[in-house]
Structure 1
């Protein structure tokens, strides 16, 4: 990784400190580098900053992660499809981004779909399909079904989830697919958790963790 030539004079550093750069918390935080600094990176390294109709566009990174790790408490992730990396202009913009975070001494990583397990992606897409219901996921009706399913699934821990779901539908007079949809909602609401590295439709009852649900004066919540 080439060392950046971008340096500040002592006068510039003092001015930025007086401006409160790099200090503050949450909405009051003032970054050490602003968009103009990104522009300086482009000028010094002969890179073309994105612009439209003569107006410089704001560049962004996909994820800024704060972790509990003492070794790497903060890092940045940019996600791109692998095919996008064949475009020279995309590479140039990624280089601008990489150099920006290098100046801030924050690790920057590029991730493509090749680094993500396909099973994990499929499970996420399966759960994401009920995103539109998220605001009203945990209803009294769903919680009642959750209690029934929790008890029903506990009787046959070695059987496949899909088999028990079909049996549950017959036992309670549901339409085909209703119980799987309810399970999907419960997983999306984290009433039920499972190892996302394994295909949901191949799991057995013992692989599902039904979380505790507490009830208090007509209200309910998921226990941590």
Structure 2
């Protein structure tokens, strides 16, 4: 049997409430400052669940964009811990695999899964665990052994687990979502700070009407709209992005 092993950092994270809760109350086990990452680490404010999310790579961030834009995703928990630590230690022992350890202290670390995603439709609500990894990294035997511990953990918890590579992430769609993601609420966007809710609704209705009654480019429609309503340059395109990210219009 694997012996109980817990470090001060694990106890601190548990005390801070990391890795527990759902929705707004969830705190990721790992944050950007905790680990070195491949690619650009990113923090984003969510829309479905309006809290700060922590991503350790570009692939994680892009996958998040796709998840959040889905009509069926109701919760996303990133950097989710496989707790208790004793369980993954036992699994590793049973599999004859060395459990991941801190390279400086050689103490066992809490393993994490990149995303635990809650899907809901008319028939069911279900959690899925997904690990995001570059296809080339799957050639590394150490990575595969770690994933085997992860797979068995989720299997024992009766939760579907899988690996997501760059081939499953639509880069173009993720990029397009990134262009509009920050425009879900325009009240913090330049040019809209002092506009009341009623005024904003009137602007949106008029903008949509102009799109529907002519075939000009969005850029031209936006330019004329800004001129007619004395708005700063870029306001029309901001409204267009707002309509897309809120799914008021389909693109």
Partner of 1:59: 111
Distance across 2 between alignment mates of 1:121 and 1:107: 24
Unaligned runs of 5+ in 2: 2-19, 23-81
- Normalization by structure 2: what TM-score? 0.53
Task: Go from structure 1 to structure 2 and tell me whether the alpha carbon gap of 1:193 and 1:95 turns closer, same or farther (over 3 Å shift).
Answer: farther
Partner of 1:121: 174
Distance across 1 between alignment mates of 2:227 and 2:241: 18
Shift of 1:99: 1.3
Runs of 4+ with >6 A deviation: none
Distance across 1 between alignment mates of 2:196 and 2:168: 36
Provide Cα deviations, 1:147-206, integer angstroms capped at 9, x if missing partner.
213223214415343331122123234443232134435655x3x5344xx4xxxxxxxx
Where in structure 2 are the equivalents of 1:8-157 lying within 5 Å?
34-52=84-102, 53-68=105-120, 73-129=126-182, 136=188, 141=195, 143=197, 144-157=199-212
Partner of 2:236: 179
Task: Go from structure 1 to structure 2 and tell me whether the alpha carbon gap of 1:123 and 1:102 turns closer, same or farther (over 3 Å shift).
Answer: same
Provide Cα deviations, 1:19-66, integer angstroms capped at 9, x if missing partner.
xxxxxx969xxxx97221111111121222111112211111122233
Distance across 1 between alignment mates of 2:187 and 2:228: 29
User: Pairwise CA RMSD of aligned residues?
Assistant: 3.6
Task: Go from structure 1 to structure 2 and tell me whether the alpha carbon gap of 1:95 and 1:130 turns closer, same or farther (over 3 Å shift).
Answer: farther
Task: Go from structure 1 to structure 2 and tell me whether the alpha carbon gap of 1:107 and 1:152 turns closer, same or farther (over 3 Å shift).
Answer: closer
Unaligned runs of 5+ in 1: 1-5, 7-24, 199-224
Matched, 1:170 2:227: yes
- Structure with the greater alpha carbon radius of gyration: 1
Task: Go from structure 1 to structure 2 and tell me whether the alpha carbon gap of 1:130 and 1:50 turns closer, same or farther (over 3 Å shift).
Answer: farther
Tell me the number of residue pairs that the alignment of Structure 1 and Structure 2 aligns: 167
Distance across 1 between alignment mates of 2:220 and 2:109: 53
**Does the aligned pair in 1 maintain the 2:119–2:125 contact within 8 Å?**
yes
